[in-house]
């Protein structure tokens, strides 16, 4: 039986943790260990876990180092075949780990398998079914806010949402860990896309169902914090993961995508946050120029195949529900 480590990053999520951990204790698959990486919480999370869930390993960091660093700490502390990353504001159906392991066992070319995330408050609606990335420079989940029945078959995706996804631990050595320069937002798209460039696949398993409160840390779907980080991280993502020729090919669409998003955020009163994010993105590129992927023949050919997906995903995006 394959071993699994469940890694839960937590930041002031005490009010969610009990439901999350109790759902894990009901799992039909038993060969797993739970690590909570606490990002300097001030709500008593660490003490609560140690007093009420003594079987859970806690790694307490001194400050909020971001999602990417927290999950990296947990992954590096594990020694299992698979790592199941799980948000603190989630509740798992009893078969989740079993279903994800079963899917992962189908092929060594699978880097990650995502559970189908449903909205905790509206469980008939999808919260996240995996991300696609398109040539407009947008990452999106086509199932967002659609009925649960929208996704009934396993689907190849650009990347898994790390809020509830299982990863093949050994491949982190080849692909690299989550990029801590992302802090949070798009770090899962980044690592999933890097896996695709290396020739691996990511899929969504609709039989594995997890309920997600959503925005448990940042507070809402659209806010200044999220808009700034997402805008900056997206430019950094493009610089890191696309060969120069691919960036040139996509540049007109990327610029159009930035303009469309800016109009969208202006209407929500977040226009300046978007501008600050774009400026931060260019700054991040300059400061981290050495993090750009190296593109050999294998990676360049993979990018050529991905480019077709990026164009197709524009059409998919306009069947989805969010900018």
Whole-number percent of the chain with pLDDT over 70: 97
- Provide the CB-side half-sphere exposure for 322 (13 A, CA): 16
Does 322 score more than 50 pLDDT?
Answer: no
Q: What one-character DSSP code corresponds to residue 181?
A: G
**Percentage of the chain modeled with pLDDT above 90:** 94
Q: What is the pLDDT of residues 291-320, one digit of tens each?
A: 999 999 999 999 999 999 999 999 999 875
Tokens of 323: 């900018």
Instruction: Return the minimum-mean-pLDDT range out of 4-8, 118-122, 202-206, 215-219.
Output: 215-219
DSSP state of 125: B
Query: Which tokens go with 101?
Result: 């392991």
Query: Which of 194-203, 208-217, 220-229 is predicted most confidently?
Result: 194-203
Task: Report pTM.
Answer: 0.94
Decide if 9 contacts 71 (C-beta within 8 A): yes
CA angle 101/177/17 to nearest 5° reads 60
Query: β-strands 90-92, 110-119: how paired?
Result: unpaired
In this predicted structure, what is the pLDDT of residue 25? 98
Residue pair 225/218 in contact (Cβ under 8 Å)? The answer is: yes
Distance between the two ends of the chain, CA-based, in angstroms? 41
Domains, the chain, ranges and CATH? 4-212 (3.90.550.10), 224-317 (no CATH)
Give the pLDDT band of residue 216 (cuts 50, 70, 90). Answer: very low
Structure token pair of residue 180: 């801590």
Q: What is the pLDDT of residues 169-192, one digit of tens each?
A: 999 999 999 999 998 889 999 999
Q: Which two tokens stand for residue 147?
A: 């009925």
Give the alpha-carbon dihedral of 224, 179, 102, 18, to 10 degrees. Answer: -50
Query: What gap in Å lies between CA 195 and CA 192, rounded to an integer?
Result: 5
């Amino acid at each position: 039986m394959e071993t699994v480590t469940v890694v839960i990053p937590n930041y002031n999520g005490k009010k969610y943790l009990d439901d999350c951990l109790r759902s894990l204790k009901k799992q039909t698959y038993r060969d797993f260990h739970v690590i909570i990486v606490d990002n300097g919480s001030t709500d008593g999370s660490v003490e609560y876990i140690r007093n009420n869930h003594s079987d859970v390993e806690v790694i307490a960091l001194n400050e909020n180092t971001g999602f990417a660093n927290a999950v990296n700490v947990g992954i590096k502390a594990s020694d299992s075949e698979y790592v199941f990353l799980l948000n603190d504001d989630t509740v798992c159906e009893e078969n989740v780990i079993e279903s994800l392991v079963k899917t992962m066992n189908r092929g060594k070319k699978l880097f990650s398998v995502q559970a189908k995330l449903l909205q905790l408050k509206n469980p008939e609606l999808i919260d996240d079914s995996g991300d696609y990335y398109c040539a407009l420079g947008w990452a999106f989940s086509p199932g967002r806010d659609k009925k649960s029945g929208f996704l009934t078959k396993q689907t190849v995706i650009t990347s898994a949402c790390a809020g509830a996804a299982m990863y093949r631990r050994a491949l982190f050595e080849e692909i690299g860990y989550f990029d801590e320069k992302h802090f949070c937002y798009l770090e899962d798209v980044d690592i999933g896309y890097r896996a695709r460039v290396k020739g691996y696949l990511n899929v969504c398993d609709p039989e594995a169902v997890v309920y997600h409160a959503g925005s448990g840390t940042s507070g809402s779907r659209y806010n200044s914090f999220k808009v700034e980080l997402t805008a900056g991280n997206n430019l950094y993502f493009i610089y890191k993961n696309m060969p120069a020729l691919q960036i040139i090919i996509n540049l007109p669409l990327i610029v159009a995508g930035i303009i469309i998003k800016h109009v969208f955020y202006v209407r929500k009163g977040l226009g300046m946050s978007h501008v600050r994010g774009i400026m931060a993105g260019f700054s991040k590129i300059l400061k981290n120029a050495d993090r750009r992927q190296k593109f050999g023949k294998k990676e360049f050919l993979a990018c050529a195949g991905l480019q077709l997906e990026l164009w197709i995903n524009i059409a998919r995006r306009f069947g989805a529900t969010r900018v």
